[in-house]
């Protein structure tokens, strides 16, 4: 089976608001399998935004578990993320899942991985996926040199820059914001 490459997800907390966005491309080998995958989800009535990279089925399983954890811990995103990461690492079924998540609310951004990582990024910018480093570099530059832009504008422009460079990222963007 060909390895699936896909996605760039970027979250930015800037000027009192947070935005997260992702492209819509999924590839199978050197072929575009789908160009309009929606990789951004709202949880907790839009108070928590998430994005995923990796296997879609695995990511949906993790998002369901994350939503359960959010409900169990009264919407406390950091606590829910830590509990999910512990389960993800220790559970025999979950540890086989191949995906990464970015979760954000009005106050913080977290990156979660199957190795038990819950990372609160420096500079309020987080990126995952094939084009992550391109989008993150663009976002950091825009935060520093174009501080008048909104978080949503920074995410959109950074993802477009990543799509111009990364063959696994397209310009079919979904961007959501809080604040």
CA-based nearest residue to 143, from 134, 133, 155: 155
Is the pTM of the predicted complex or chain greater than 0.75? yes
Which residues are catalytically annotated? Answer: 7
- Tens of pLDDT along 141-167? 999 999 999 999 999 999 999 999 999
pLDDT of residue 146: 97
- Tens of pLDDT along 109-141? 999 987 889 999 999 999 999 999 999 999 999
In angstroms, rounded to a whole number, what is the distance separating the alpha carbons of residues 155 and 134?
12
Question: What are the sequence ranges of the domains in the chain?
Answer: 4-172
Q: What is the dotted CATH code of the domain comprising 4-172? A: 3.60.20.10
- Taking residue 57's Cβ as centre, other Cβ atoms within 10 Å add up to 11
């Amino acid at each position: 089976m060909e390895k699936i490459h896909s996605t760039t997800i970027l979250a930015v907390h800037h000027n009192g608001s947070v935005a997260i966005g992702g492209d819509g491309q999924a590839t199978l080998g050197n072929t575009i399998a789908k160009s309009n995958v929606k990789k951004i989800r709202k949880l907790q009535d839009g108070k928590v935004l998430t994005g995923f990279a990796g296997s879609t089925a695995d990511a949906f399983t993790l998002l369901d578990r994350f939503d359960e954890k959010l409900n169990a811990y009264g919407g406390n995103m950091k606590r829910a993320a830590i509990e999910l990461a512990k389960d993800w690492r220790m559970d025999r079924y979950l540890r086989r899942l191949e995906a990464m998540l970015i979760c954000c609310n009005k106050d913080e951004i977290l990156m979660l991985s199957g190795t038990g990582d819950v990372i609160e990024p420096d500079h309020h910018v987080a990126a995952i996926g094939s084009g992550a480093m391109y989008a993150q570099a663009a976002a950091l530059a825009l935060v520093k040199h174009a501080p008048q832009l909104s978080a949503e504008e920074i995410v959109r422009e950074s993802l477009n820059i990543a799509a111009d460079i990364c063959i696994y990222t397209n310009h079919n963007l979904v961007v959501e914001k809080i604040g």
